[in-house]
Amino acid sequence: MEDLQRLIERHQYIGKAGTAFIYAILVSMAVNFFWTPGHIYSSGVTGLAQLITTLTGRYAPIQLSTALMLFVLNVPLFVVAWFKIGKRFTFFTFISVALASVMMRVMQPVTLTHDPLICAIFGGAINGLGTGLALRYGISTGGLDIVGIVLRKKTGSKMGTINILFNALIVIAAGFVFGWPYALYSAIGLVVNARVMDMVYTRQQLLQVMIVTGRPKSVIDSVQNHVRRGITIVHDAEGAYHHDEKEILFTVISRYEMYEFREAMEESDPRAFVSITETMRVMGHFYEPKL
């Protein structure tokens, strides 16, 4: 049994490392192929690293590279993640940031277009895809992702929303450095980045589920075998058409768990009435898997 557990963990580590490498390639493409040629700033620490590179290139004798500053600025955040989120999470965060810094140096910039709108949209979409993919598989991309996860645990806010609030300063900086039209293009890129990230990283999107069933025990057992969620039971409900006895079950799941939930319902009571609605916030105890 222990050997099987070790084998599973080894495959998980390999999968996370592979995801970190994919993220590194995507963020490097966003920076080198779109954002830098289009004078567009990224979100979070990557955007701050770009800003430092721009300012040192203009006003300092030595220009500090975006790749170097991306890693340096993340060092204090590694410490926060170590104590507030988890050691394994921090380890893979370090790997993803280090790989991103290396790939930014290895992948030579390619100017596909100078159109700032195209650069903003495509750069934001590619970076959002990479960031969301990394977070989906339990890896942080560093920077505001770490801050966002810590704040989300306390406030329930979505990652994209938190990033938009923090990145207002980046947009203002883009206005001062490149001109206010570029501030608008950077803002468009940030919104695209946030939306794509929220579409890919669905673990924080919560759904309230109401189940009306005549087989409550079977449904509860099946759902709890597939997803780790508590369920509230409302007894003595009655169907208005056949006047048969029903039970109403309430639970909250993440959008990430929808596939497992559907499997559970197909196994236990495929004829049950199920209503699913988005939940803005959950107060009280709600289990979240450790990252």
The encoded tokens of residue 82 equal 């170590």
Count of CB atoms within 10 A of residue 244's CB? 9
Residue 164: what pLDDT?
Answer: 67
> What confidence score (pLDDT) does residue 209 get?
93
- What is the spatial distance between Cα 91 and Cα 78, in angstroms, rounded to a whole number? 9
Structure tokens at 35: 């954002």
SS3 category, 225: helix
Cβ atoms 66, 166 nearer than 8 A:
no
Going along the chain from its start, the domains and CATH numbers come out as 2-200 (no CATH), 206-279 (3.30.70.120)
Rounded Cα distance, 251 and 229, in Å: 7
Cα–Cα nearest to 31, from 94, 96, 109: 109
| pLDDT at position 5 | 59
Single-letter residue type at 242: H
Tens digits of per-residue pLDDT, 196-252? 887 887 666 788 999 999 999 999 999 988 888 889 999 988 888 878 889 999 999
Kindly give the confidence (pLDDT) of every residue in the chain, 291 residues in length, as a single tens digit, with 9 standing for 90 and above: 556 556 656 777 788 888 899 999 999 999 999 999 898 988 788 888 998 999 898 888 888 999 999 999 999 989 888 888 788 888 888 999 999 999 999 988 788 888 999 999 999 999 999 988 887 777 778 887 677 777 766 666 555 566 667 778 888 888 888 888 989 999 899 889 888 887 887 666 788 999 999 999 999 999 988 888 889 999 988 888 878 889 999 999 887 788 788 888 999 999 899 999 988 777 777 766 655
3-class SS at 244? Answer: coil
Residues 6+ apart with CB under 8 A from 275: 209, 210
Cα-based distances in Å from 133 to 19, 22, 65: 7, 9, 26
pLDDT of the residue at 153: 67
Q: What is the DSSP letter of 63?
A: P
Confidence at residue 155, expressed as pLDDT on a 0 to 100 scale: 65
Q: For the packed helices 180-200 and 159-166, what is the interaxial angle rounded to 10 degrees?
A: 160
SS3 287: coil
Q: What pLDDT does 288 receive? A: 66
Average pLDDT, the chain: 84
